[in-house]
Amino acid sequence: MTIDVHSPAREMAAAVADRTISARELLDLHLDRIDEVNDRVNAIVSLDPERARVEAAERDEETARGVSRGPLHGLPFAFKDTHAVAGWRTTYGSPLMAENVPSRDELVVERIRGAGAVTIGKTNVPEWAAGSHTFNTVFGTTRNPYDLTRSAGGSSGGAGAALACGMVPLAEGSDMGGSLRNPASFDNVVGLRPSLGRVPEWPAANGWETTSVGGPMARSVDDLSLLLSVVAGPDPRAPLALGDPGATFAAPVSGSLAGVRVAFSTDLGGAFEVDEQVARIVGDQRAVMAEAGAVVVDAHPDLSLAEDTFRTLRAWRFQAMFGARLARHPDAFKASLADNIRAGEHLTGADVARAYEQRTSLGHTMRRFFADHDVLALPVSQVPPFSADEEYPSRINGREQATYLDWMRSAYFITVTGCPAISVPAGFTAEGWPVGIQLVARHGGEAALLSVAHAFEQLTAHGRVRPTL
């Protein structure tokens, strides 16, 4: 077995286990790739090769003794720069946290390191992970490896770009309004926003928070499932955690589209504007699924309550998280984030109660919808990768977008349903920019969703097209 930086993560782990390649050699392959391309893409930050080499040597010593820490033993890993890694600089993309070094791991980090991964650094993020374009004043802009003039997406944009380039074999991130799905679409990789509770979070200021979730990214659905098996599963410190063990997702993924009931919609019945090229590429997948035996119908749930629900809960959370800090440092936040934080100042208890009532209604809407359908298919993002020099796309098909969130409705409408959603590569625009398709399943339905996503991925093979840089 010959291993290179684009090999499947499962093959890398197996090669380390059988000593076909050492953890140190695997690390050096990735460090060489980082050295080759990261200065142009700017996906990996706070890189520390020497500390990584010490960890890799420890993994090799353990392997020699017949000891494996877990399914990620010896794999290089860079954590999202909003996730605390003990002893490693963690900036959240904010100048206020530029020198922050946490003393403990977050739960998702604890699990990945515990499974044997070798920490190499962090992946770049927008300021405080706000917005789906990765730029900040600490590290600068992450660029799309398929076209360096375009955005890599966000907020897990560094993770998506690093995966696409072969700088890391796996990545993790978080998703409030599309931050795992959007960069997966823009960077031609796979990103899963899991069901609420599938990947528990700790520590958390609000253990009952239901908008942002952590999740895995990878270059294939099968590799994504491998990482999901590590980060999923209950923890007594996380009250919303689902009870299924992570090992539920450990086996290689298989499946077929035959007989799968797919509800297909490019705009949820006119709920949002979709770029013409994105609509065409996503729409073309209808025939792909039907030819593979899926029962495809034009259908969509009524998610009209999602707009007010998401924006209310997002502003409420941002005000709770950042309001006091913004008051102390009014010039240390980008304008769009500061505006959204301030929007939360005017919310009342009745506003928040209304949002949660609506969210409950949306959950029931999806429960009824998935009684008749197995999967909902729709765009991940309403636009292809936009200019890296813009904060967000202000126009879609020539039509003005009122706010910096408008182009993300296709993602955040799904957020407030609590359902799992995965972005899978679906094709490229005429300019060569990647476009993903979003597949959604019932709450708790990750196993079936991964099976469908894997079957689709095998049919199309768009995800095998790597950037040339």
Active site residue 265: no
Rounded-to-integer distance, Cα 159 and Cα 148, Å: 16
**DSSP state, 69?**
-
CB contact at 8 A, 314 and 340: yes
Length of the chain in terms of residues written: 469
CB contact at 8 A, 320 and 347: no
Rounded-to-integer distance, Cα 123 and Cα 219, Å: 16
Active site residue 122: no
Active site residue 155: yes
CB contact at 8 A, 454 and 218: no
Q: Which residue has the tokens 């979730």?
A: 213
Check 179, 185, 195, 265 and give the catalytic one.
Answer: 179
Check 22, 80, 94, 381 and give the catalytic one.
Answer: 80
Bridge-based pairing of strands 421-428 and 434-440 is antiparallel
Residue 297: beta bridge partners?
263
Phi/psi of residue 217, nearest 5 degrees: -135, 150
CB contact at 8 A, 74 and 118: yes
Rounded-to-integer distance, Cα 398 and Cα 284, Å: 23
Indicate if the alpha-carbon torsion angle 195, 434, 91, 135 is positive or negative.
Answer: negative
CB contact at 8 A, 450 and 224: yes
Count of alpha carbons within 13 angstroms of residue 194, beta-carbon side: 31
Check 46, 155, 423, 451 and give the catalytic one.
Answer: 155
Separation in Å, CA 15 to CA 73, 228, 460: 10, 20, 27
CB contact at 8 A, 469 and 165: yes
CB contact at 8 A, 399 and 273: yes
Bridge-based pairing of strands 261-264 and 375-379 is parallel
| Sequence-distant (≥ 6) Cβ neighbours of residue 453 within 8 angstroms | 190, 221, 422, 424, 439
Rounded-to-integer distance, Cα 242 and Cα 445, Å: 12
- By annotation, the residues acting in catalysis are 80, 155, 179
